[in-house]
Every structure is written in structure tokens, then in C-alpha cells.
Amino acid sequence: MGLYKDFVSQTRKPEGFLGKMMLSGMNSGHAKLADWGFTHLPDMDPEKAVDLGCGGGRNVGELLRKYPEAHVTAIDYSELSVQKAKSYNEEMITAGRCKVRQGDVSNLRLPAGEYDLATAFETIYFWPGLEKCFLQVVQILKSGGYFLICNESDGTDAVSLRYEKIIDGMKNHTVEEIEAALKAVGFSEVKSDHHPSRPWITVLARK
């Protein structure tokens, strides 16, 4: 279990050789889930978007393609993820449409009321307190801005609950827990969707 635990724990904060291995498969491995999540975004034309817990940077690239006039900021706790996301989006960074930096979602240090859209794909499992971190998100959004959460786990599926026991600091939240935390910090509209055949969920909140 030792090496396996070390490897799967890289989902939290990729580091070193095992972290590089994890990141190499992260973009492709989560693509179908992320693309399903993107279909839940409303019809909008954001000027500024932020992807929180950007991992290997693939979803940042999708945001840039989906919204060709937008500037996208990517944040990740892992320096290794930041490097990977920068490499993946090098062209858009050079073009001035994207920036990637290391950061902590519990203390974002981003301008208040600046962003039209925030996204979080496969990441809130590791956030240190939903209400604490969601408060950071609501503060950086403009009035009327959206926050999209997309998870592979609905908080009840057996596979993800097994990983929760292996990976330190991981918590699989239910839709009800996510919705309650979003409303507690001031999001006014919250709606969710559950994939018809998989434990995938999206939660879309509006400030």
C-alpha cells in the first residue's frame, strides 16, 4: 500500500517524480468529466475568469477556447502543477490572455469583485474548509458572477470513499453539503446536476 498511497496522494499536491507521473495523466484522465462540466456553464461572455486548482492546465486551455475574448487566471497550490499548466498554456500566456501562479484557495490574494467566472474541477476535496474557501471565491467574483464546481464523486460512491481513507486530507462532499456551504457565504442562486449513469456532479452558484 505504501507506494500506491504515495502515488494516489499526489492528487492533492503533486510533487517530485510521482507528482510528475500523476500530472502527465491528469489532463487526459479528467477530460470527459471536465467537458461534461463545461456544458453546465450559462450563456455568458466573461471578461475575466479564474480556474482554481488548475492541475495540469487543460481546463484553463478549454476556458480560453470557449471564451476567446477572456483573460484566464490559473491558481494551484502545487508548484509542479503551476509549471505544467504554464507549459500547457504557453502560447496564451505569451499572447497576454493567461497567467498561472501558485496560490492557496483559503487565502487567494486576488482583487475583490474582479472576476465574472470561477471554476473548480476535481479539487474541492482538498480545500481546507468549504465555507472558508467559498468565501474567498464569492469575494473575488463580480455581482452576478458564476462559480462552477465539477466533481467526479457525489460524496457517496464507494470508490471515492475508499480513496478518502487512503489520501490524507481528502473529503468527498455531497451535493447538499456543497450547496449549504455556498449559500452560507452569500451565493444567491445555487443549482446542481448529477450525471445519469456516473457519480459525477456539478454545482453552479451565482453571486
Burial class (CB in 10 A: 0-12, 13-18, 19+), 99: middle
- CA contacts within 13 A on the Cβ side of 148: 21
Comparing C-alpha atoms, which of 70, 73, 67 is closest to residue 47? 70
pLDDT score at 8: 44
Kind and range of the H or E element at 194? strand 189-194
Domain 2-206 falls under CATH 3.40.30.10: no
d(CA 126, CA 130): 9
pLDDT score at 11: 54
* Cβ-proximal residues to 16 (8 Å cutoff; 6+ apart), any chain: 80
d(CA 169, CA 154): 17
Instruction: Please give the single-letter amino acid code of residue 65.
Output: R
- pLDDT, tens digit, 9 for 90 and up, residues 74-113: 999 999 899 999 999 999 999 999 999 999 999 999 999 9
Q: Is the distance from CB of 134 to CB of 123 less than 8 angstroms?
A: no
Domain ranges of the chain: 2-206
Q: Please spell the DSSP secondary structure of 87-153, one letter per residue.
A: HHTHHHHHTTSEEEEE-BTTB----TT-EEEEEEES-GGGSS-HHHHHHHHHHHEEEEEEEEEEES-
pLDDT score at 15: 56
Name residues of the chain where pLDDT drops below 50: 1, 3-4, 6-10, 19
Please state, in angstroms and as integers, the Cα–Cα distance from residue 93 to each residue in 50, 63, 90, 105, 153, following that order.
14, 13, 5, 22, 32
Instruction: Please give the single-letter amino acid code of residue 177.
Output: E
